[in-house]
Amino acid sequence: MGLTTGAVVGGAAAAGNAPTATFDYSPSDPVPDETVTFDASSSTDDGTIEEYEWDLDGDGYFGYDGSTVTRSFDTAGEYVVTLRVTDDEGNSVTTTKTVSVTNDAPTAAFDYSPSDPVPDETVTFDASSSTDSDGSIEEYEWDLDGDGYFGYDGSTVTRSFDTAGSYTVTLRVTDNGDVTTKETKTVRVGNDAPNATFTYSPSDPAPDDTITFDAGASSDADGNIEEYEWDFDGDGYFGYDGSQNTYSFDTAGSYTVTLRVTDNGDVTTKETKTIRVGNDAPNATFTYSPSNPSPDDTITFDAGASSDADGQITEYEWDFDGDGYFGYDGSQNTYSFDTAGTYPVTLRVTDNGEQTVKEIRTIRVENSAPEPSFTFSPTNPAPDQTVTFDAGASSDADGRITEYEWDFDGDGYFGYDGSQTTYTFDESGVQTVTLRVTDNGERTVKKTLRVPVGDVATTTPESLALEETTETTERTEAPETEETPESTEDTASSGVDGQSFANGELFQVARLYTPEKIIAPGSPGRLAGAFTADVTNEKPVKVQITLQVPSGIQIQGGSDVQSSGGGLPTATFVIAPGETKDISAEVVGSDPGTYTLRAAITYFPVGNTSAAKEYDGLELNFEVRDDETTESASDEGTETVTETAPTGDTPGFSVGVTVVALLAAAMLARRAGE
């Protein structure tokens, strides 16, 4: 009997007493495949038992029902059997027993005949003497070559051995209880070795000559030769067969040729000879274009001029990165280098005699540094206000920019990327922002601007932030004769450029100029102008000035102001007859260099837009200089340009410039044309 356990299963809603679950099984000591009867008729209840359920394999699933069930077990072992009974009131009880199944191992035994076999002789193996004391043998399996694989079955099998030697034969028997037993014996087979010999012609071959190899003189004293095999390149692989064969060698050198013969008893013998072949080396040479490539340029490499004096070139191979790996082939190839630098390129040519020659040339790839440039808006943000940074004006003269990186807190860590991004500053103050751009040649350049945040800057008005002062003169009669305006351009020493005129159409004076021609980045310059309406005008004159901003400068102002590159900030004002408007704006430069800012002026009597006059294409030239501006290469090839944005101490539009505007001349030219 096995181990017995019991449990009561029931819910709070069940009434009455739980049933008693109990069962017996027979036979009490079963063996594999023997039918076991399980009887639960001894279970009791104060009512009636409605259901008997059985779990006969211990998996928790009650797949059998009835007070009596049967089951057989395939193999020896311990099996957990559980009975669950349920009465008419829904009460359930389980009881468990362990059934022990035992099995004795079978006995494996075999004989073979003949007892002294020779190669190719049929040998019979007989396992009929194997027995099983408590059951029956269900399977006979044979491993006839000692490889561990039992590929034959049956109580009797036959096999022949091709060659002499000792062979391990194993029988494995399995009984009805799935218990296995093995029996192993050694079978001995004998044979004499054959004789291997060969000749070849011609005796002094050249590369690609056809050589005939003949093994017809080989022999076997006690049988016959079944197989002729050849290894022509000394690699140990016998890839050719037949008593006679042909072969050619591609290149000069000494070659080991081996013949291997095998007789009907599978005994082998080898014969080895050395064949000598000669060859001249080829010539390797190549050209490339363009001769001065830039990063990502497609370079064409041409080895067509390579030659071989005593044969032909059969293979062209290229190593473009100096790593020793020839990953490209063909007499002509293309390649591009990602970054600037010096690159060794190697051509390796191979002729029909397998002779190889290399040609190495150094390719120099040059790369100009990219030019970083960026703007930000608004130009005087408040703390926690979103600031948009735009590096779209950055450029690369000989390639393209592949990466934009931003450092917004001056810690040297570039944690933002993209040509355009946003950031908010927590506190007031002048914040340092650095843009780092990398081009397709892996060259990097940095540019730094200082951003005024909060009350470090004075609030700027909308439009151009032009400061106006008004003076009124008495109305007088217009002069009878127009006077040609005289140049009022200041001397170079004064540092002021500009021009004005009198008695112009609707104007007595119209002048736009800058007090300074040369300023430093971040230092405010001043754009100034004066307009006096003619006293004879019947109506006030409305004037609009539009500036087209070149890349690299900023104009601070209201919502209609672009800070850099392509911006069209405007200033609009009205001048009464005889009235003078003096305008001014502070400007700040970013990048050192010479720039041209273009201005267009439109004016007309108030209420009469059809009489509007427009003068465009007025060029205002200025220069920004800073001896401290740096552009240097670091160990990583990084270059830096540092610039200072306006601190915001003075209102104005931030165009760091020295401006020359020959506005009056343009007006006169327009009027003369009319």
Question: Does residue 12 surpass a pLDDT of 60?
Answer: no
pLDDT one-digit tens code per residue, 16-27: 789 999 999 999
Half-sphere exposure of 428 (CA within 13 A, CB side): 8
Nearest to 656 by CA among 378, 371, 379: 379
What CATH number does domain 199-277 carry, 3.30.750.24, 3.30.420.40, 2.102.10.10, 2.60.40.10?
A: 2.60.40.10
When pLDDT is averaged across residues 127-140 and rounded to a whole number, the result is: 92
Predicted confidence at residue 223, as pLDDT, reads 74
Report strand pairing: 416-417 vs 420-424.
unpaired
Instruction: Calculate the alpha carbon distances from 489 to 293, 483, 509 in Å.
Output: 49, 17, 14
**Position 106, amino acid:** P
CA-based R_g, the chain, Å? 52
Predicted confidence at residue 619, as pLDDT, reads 66
Work out the number of other CB atoms within 10 angstroms of the CB of residue 302. 15
Q: Is 664 helix (H, G, I), strand (E, B) or coil?
A: helix
Tokens (6 digits) for 82: 């559980």
B/e letters for 313-337, b = 16+ CB within 10 Å, e = fewer, are beebbbbbeeeeebeeeebebebeb
| Sign of the torsion angle spanned by Cα atoms 423, 426, 429, 431 | negative
The vertex-162 CA angle with 158 and 168, nearest 5°, equals: 65
Question: Does residue 450 surpass a pLDDT of 70?
Answer: yes
Question: Does residue 486 surpass a pLDDT of 50?
Answer: no
User: By the 8 A CB rule, do 538 and 546 touch?
Assistant: no
In the chain, the N- to C-terminal Cα span, in Å, equals: 128
Edge-first strand listing for the sheet containing 341-351? 328-329, 313-319, 341-351, 356-365
Predicted confidence at residue 31, as pLDDT, reads 86
Predicted confidence at residue 117, as pLDDT, reads 85
Nearest to 638 by CA among 372, 391, 394: 372
Phi, psi of 550 (to 5 degrees): -75, 160
User: By the 8 A CB rule, do 238 and 270 touch?
Assistant: no
Question: Does residue 463 surpass a pLDDT of 50?
Answer: no
Predicted confidence at residue 551, as pLDDT, reads 63
Q: Name the percent of the chain lying above pLDDT 70.
A: 74
Q: Is 666 helix (H, G, I), strand (E, B) or coil?
A: helix
Choose from 267-271, 364-368, 529-533 the range with maximum mean pLDDT: 267-271
State the residue for tokens 């032909």.
312
Cα–Cα dist 579/601, whole Å: 18
Between 304-318, 397-411, 581-595, the lowest mean confidence (pLDDT) is in 581-595
Q: Any idea which architecture 287-363 has in CATH?
A: Sandwich (2.60)
Question: Exposed (0-12), middle (13-18) or buried (19+): which is 1, by Cβ within 10 Å?
Answer: exposed
Phi, psi of 521 (to 5 degrees): -55, 135
Tokens (6 digits) for 415: 């944690």
What class is the 467-673 domain? mainly beta
| Sign of the torsion angle spanned by Cα atoms 65, 70, 75, 80 | positive
Cα–Cα dist 165/119, whole Å: 9
Cα–Cα dist 418/392, whole Å: 10
Tokens (6 digits) for 376: 């930000």
What CATH number does domain 375-453 carry, 3.60.110.10, 3.30.1510.10, 2.60.40.10, 3.40.50.11690?
A: 2.60.40.10
Question: Does residue 460 surpass a pLDDT of 80?
Answer: no
Q: What does the chain come to in residues?
A: 674
Cα–Cα dist 195/241, whole Å: 17
Cα–Cα dist 117/451, whole Å: 101
Cα–Cα dist 436/433, whole Å: 10
Phi, psi of 23 (to 5 degrees): -150, 160
State the residue for tokens 């030697």.
165
Nearest to 260 by CA among 280, 276, 275, 239: 239
Between 58-62, 92-96, 613-617, 646-650, the lowest mean confidence (pLDDT) is in 646-650
User: By the 8 A CB rule, do 364 and 342 touch?
Assistant: yes
User: By the 8 A CB rule, do 555 and 653 touch?
Assistant: yes
pLDDT one-digit tens code per residue, 414-425: 999 999 999 999
In the DSSP assignment, the letter for residue 406 is E
Half-sphere exposure of 247 (CA within 13 A, CB side): 22
Predicted confidence at residue 516, as pLDDT, reads 62
| Residue 408 Ramachandran class (φ > 0 left, ψ -120 to 50 alpha, else beta) | alpha
Cα–Cα dist 249/277, whole Å: 8
Predicted confidence at residue 636, as pLDDT, reads 37
One-character DSSP codes across 510-552: EEEEBS-SEE-TTS-EEEEEEEEE-TT-SS-EEEEEEEEPPTT
Edge-first strand listing for the sheet containing 420-424? 375-377, 386-390, 420-424
The DSSP bridge partners found for residue 94 are 7, 84
**Position 577, amino acid:** P
Q: What CATH number is given for 4-101 in this structure?
A: 2.60.40.10
Between 2-6, 24-28, 318-322, 432-436, the lowest mean confidence (pLDDT) is in 2-6
User: By the 8 A CB rule, do 535 and 508 touch?
Assistant: yes
User: By the 8 A CB rule, do 299 and 363 touch?
Assistant: yes
Tokens (6 digits) for 168: 């391990």
Between 67-76, 90-99, 231-240, 595-604, the lowest mean confidence (pLDDT) is in 595-604
Edge-first strand listing for the sheet containing 122-126? 111-113, 122-126, 156-160
Cα 219 from chain centre: 64
User: By the 8 A CB rule, do 523 and 594 touch?
Assistant: no
Report strand pairing: 49-55 vs 444-453.
unpaired
pLDDT one-digit tens code per residue, 222-256: 778 999 999 999 999 999 999 999 999 977 889 99
pTM over 0.75? The answer is no
Tokens (6 digits) for 593: 């260099």
Predicted confidence at residue 441, as pLDDT, reads 82
pLDDT one-digit tens code per residue, 40-67: 999 999 999 999 999 999 999 999 999 9
Q: Where do you find CATH 2.60.40.10 in the chain?
A: 4-101, 111-189, 199-277, 287-363, 375-453, 467-673
Question: Does residue 635 surpass a pLDDT of 60?
Answer: no
List the beta strands (DSSP E) in 408-552: 416-417, 420-424, 429-439, 444-453, 467-472, 507-513, 518-519, 525-533, 541-548
Predicted confidence at residue 264, as pLDDT, reads 83
Question: Does residue 487 surpass a pLDDT of 70?
Answer: no
Predicted confidence at residue 45, as pLDDT, reads 94
Work out the number of other CB atoms within 10 angstroms of the CB of residue 201. 11
Nearest to 552 by CA among 541, 563, 544: 563
Q: What is the mean pLDDT of the chain?
A: 78
pLDDT one-digit tens code per residue, 351-396: 887 889 999 999 999 888 899 999 999 989 999 999 999 999 999 9
- Give 653 or 406, the one with higher predicted confidence: 406
> Could you tell me the pLDDT band of residue 641, with boundaries at 50, 70 and 90?
very low
Q: Does domain 111-189 have CATH number 3.90.220.20?
A: no
